[in-house]
Amino acid sequence: MFKMPEKERAIGMYKKMCEIRQYEETIYYLFLEGIMPGTIHQSHGQEACAVGMIYDLRKEDYILTTHRPAGHDLAKGVSLRSMMCEMFGKAEGCCKGKGGAMHTGDISVGAVTANAIVGGNLPIAAGVALRCKMLKTDNVAVCFFGDGASNEGSFHEALNAAAVWKLPVVYVCENNLYSATTSIKMTCNLENVAADRGLAYGIPSEVVDGNDVLAINEAAERAIERARKGEGPTILELKTYRIGGHSRNDACGYRTEEEEKEWFSRDPIASFRARLLNEGVASEEELQKIEEEIQAQIDAEVEYAQNAPDPEPESALREVYWEGGIA
């Protein structure tokens, strides 16, 4: 078992995981009630991956995320308000209401706008890392992707370039066993779909329990340190499971009850909560207070976002690509 850090740090990690879970759950119910339009891909069950990897990054470091971006963005410091306003398509949204659920981000805190093209962010991460290197900073890029993305050509091209140029990038595969509704067993003959492939490119890798925030945080420290020291990329494969469906309309009929039961019993937040209590780091009352305060803040942001101004119609073509160029 990984060593519990001192209280402030442990509670800090717990709070961030709860913020992500409660933010996504609140959005889920808003969708079910028909209050929020569009679709959503959520990271219930994968919160430890975001928090363990990002907790010790600097503001000047970068993250690159996917169609499932909320947890990563919140962990990197994109504000709850700008995330919520983005979900409601409002002008104060982190992408001015033009991005929606799959395209959140805020470059001012190092969260590169999410890329919903599976595997699309891997070469961009290499580019971001190349920039960090050419500017002679010791900042790093951390790139998240799913097991499905490891079968895309862009994965292989990006990893090869990152290895050859010794780029300061950490590639993080959140292996939740499914690429949308397809089991990874049907699409890849390897046990560790990202980590085992590191060998082909001369990139060191680690396989980590993706539901243990402390295990992830320790592996992150090693990989980030390597990148900062100019020793090149690392692949981390975090074994995890999404508790909810792939997207809003997915009833998960392709998973067995036994599999779900086994993984749900390893919920990363419930497990960490139990450790905080068992090891006397915090009391039940303290944890409940934290959870209630987070929910109150999220509810206040929902209220704020619903009443926030819509974008001006004239702004529709600003800061987006269109056939006439950049308006």
Nearer to ligand TPP, 181 or 288 (CB): 181
Residues 107-146 that bind ligand TPP (CB under 6 A): 116-118, 146
State in angstroms the smallest separation of the CB of 14 from ligand TPP: 23
Stretch that binds ligand TPP, among 176-184, 226-234, 256-264, 288-296 (CB under 6 A): 176-184
Q: Do 112 and 76 contact (CB within 8 A), yes or no?
A: no
CA 90: distance to chain centroid? 23
Widest CA span in the chain: 62
> Pattern of binders to ligand TPP over 60-79, x per CB under 6 A?
-------xx-----------
> Pattern of binders to ligand TPP over 221-260, x per CB under 6 A?
-------------------------x--------------
Which of 178, 241, 263, 272 binds ligand TPP (CB under 6 A)? It is 178
Enter the tokens of residue 162: 């990152």
Closest CA to 111 of 162, 161, 49, 66: 66
Nearer to ligand TPP, 79 or 187 (CB): 187
Strand locations in the chain, DSSP E? 62-64, 111-112, 141-146, 169-175, 178-179, 182-183, 205-209, 234-239, 321-322, 325-326
State in angstroms the smallest separation of the CB of 173 from ligand TPP: 8
**Angstrom distances, CA of residue 59 to CA of 63, 66, 82, 97, 286:** 10, 19, 17, 24, 29
Could you say whether residue 180 binds ligand TPP (CB under 6 A)?
yes
- Chain positions contacting ligand TPP, by CB under 6 A: 67-68, 116-118, 146-149, 176, 178-180, 246
